[in-house]
Amino acid sequence: MALIEGCKHSLDITIPAEAMAAEIARVTEKIRGKAHLKGFRPGKAPVSQIKAVYGSQIRNEALENVIPKALEAACEKENLRPVSRPEIKDLHFHEGESVHFKAEFEVAPEIELKELRGLTVEYAAPDVTEADIDERLNELRESRAQYVNVDPRPVEDGDHCLVDLLSIAGIEGEPMKQEGINIEVGGKDTFPAFSEALRGALPGDEREAEITYPEDYGARKLAGKTVRFRITLRTIRLKELPELNDEFAKDLGDFQSLDEVREEIRKSIHREREYIAQTEAKNKLVDQMVAMHDFPVPESYIEQQIQTIVENQLASLKQQGVDISKIRLDWKTLRESQRDKAIHDVKASMLLGKLSTAESINVTQDEVDAEVQRIARQRREPVAAVRMNLEKDGSLNRIVNRILTDKTLNWLFENATKVAPAPAPEQSAG
């Protein structure tokens, strides 16, 4: 056995002549039983003629049968577990002789886990203020607003205008047409040009406005463009907000008072912020853990992770409406740019796996069942059908792995020493 570099190993393997001869005889007999040679019924042709006609096939099939078995036996003897497809080199074989070949493959590295209890990380329990609750409560109030038509009069700030939009310049191809759009005149999220165009307008009036969209605008068709619109005002409406009282609380669901709603909002905001803060702390702990351990990573693992990262990036672009086929991508450069991240991700995964084993962290059937039930509720499908589909496409194993990773990260966080974050530096005047 020889260690070539990193995780790559090489084995020189010999298959005895007797074993190879026996395999050739077996394969020859198998082919002989099916071969159709002129003048002979299947299974009756002389072995010499079978070898003359099918010699190359016999040789290749025999080698394909014995090499994996010989490699498996050699790896077991050397206590090696390949994690990459073995590459067979320097194959030497003549009939009647032993087979000699070299197999090169990667193995998982030996990792000596260091003490991971007591790692120090910045973390502060999240705080929820009354102002935070008021803001969320007002969002709920806004979501239940009623819009009331007003008698025809000139548009004023604060009015909600129901309009039709038609692009008349700035967009190539078919004009963009939108009907029944609500525009709050003077609203903080309204383009000023729309508000300016609508002020003083009466229902039925047509106005024009030119809008310059930012480069990062959500609708990619409009991002970075200056578009001129014709605006047709349909109706002027006023927004009426419900009063914040116990009746409002009862309309929201299982609440009897506004105080109960405020308490539930407080808990919800706290959960959200706690999740964000803990996730940030866990990421820092993982970075520390990776930095503490120096070990080689199988190239096959790195390539798989690079592929996963790139596929996720492309999927994200597609979700944003980007046509990947129209983007000029230097795939080699793109993949190489993700190499460091891939190495970090693989090391983190291997270390978390090692940690879960060392600390006997396991996934229970109840935890898996709870996740399957959650997915079923989300999809509004029967639990049994969801479980069957998850098992069929391999997703159930991914769910188990995700739960195990989450539990191991929780262990890392729970056993860490939390310190208050350093205060942000004060901005100097001027």
Give the pLDDT of residue 2.
60
Q: Are residues 35 and 94 in the same domain?
A: yes
Q: Are residues 174 and 101 in the same domain?
A: no
Domain boundary among 106, 129, 160: 106
Give the pLDDT of residue 41.
79
Phi-psi label, residue 338: left if phi above 0, alpha if psi -120 to 50, beta otherwise: alpha
Token pair listed for 406: 């989450």
Environment class of residue 426 by beta-carbon count within 10 Å: exposed (0-12), middle (13-18) or buried (19+)?
exposed
Domain boundary among 202, 222, 240: 240
Q: Is residue 140 part of a domain?
A: no
Strands 120-122 and 417-419: parallel
Q: What is the CATH number of the domain that holds 196?
A: 3.10.50.40
Instruction: Please say whether the beta carbons of 406 and 352 come within 8 A.
Output: no
249 phi and psi, to 5 degrees? -60, -45
Per-residue three-class SS string for 218-265? CCCCCCCCEEEEEEEEEEEEEEECCCCCHHHHHHHCCCCCHHHHHHHH
Q: Are residues 102 and 13 in the same domain?
A: yes
Measure Cα distances from 118 to 17, 115, 408 in Å: 59, 8, 15
Residues of the chain below pLDDT 70:
1-4, 424, 426-430
Residue type at position 341: K
Q: Are residues 184 and 98 in the same domain?
A: no
Q: Is residue 413 part of a domain?
A: no
Q: Is residue 250 part of a domain?
A: no
Q: Is residue 361 part of a domain?
A: no
Q: Are residues 153 and 102 in the same domain?
A: no
Q: Are residues 7 and 61 in the same domain?
A: yes
Domain count, the chain: 2
Q: Are residues 150 and 86 in the same domain?
A: no
Give the pLDDT of residue 270.
97
Q: Is residue 396 part of a domain?
A: no
Q: Are residues 14 and 81 in the same domain?
A: yes
Q: Is residue 154 part of a domain?
A: yes
What domain range includes position 8? Answer: 2-106
Distance of CA 145 to the CA centre of its chain: 37
Q: How many other CB atoms sit within 10 Å of the CB of residue 285?
A: 20
Domain boundary among 55, 82, 106: 106
Q: Are residues 181 and 90 in the same domain?
A: no
C-alpha angle 421/426/430, rounded to 5°? 160
Q: What is the CATH number of the domain that holds 72?
A: 3.30.70.1050
Give the pLDDT of residue 430.
46
pTM (2 d.p.): 0.77
Q: Are residues 6 and 101 in the same domain?
A: yes
Q: Are residues 152 and 232 in the same domain?
A: yes
Q: Is residue 245 part of a domain?
A: no
Token pair listed for 35: 């071969």
Q: Is residue 254 part of a domain?
A: no
Give the pLDDT of residue 169.
93
C-alpha angle 116/120/122, rounded to 5°? 140
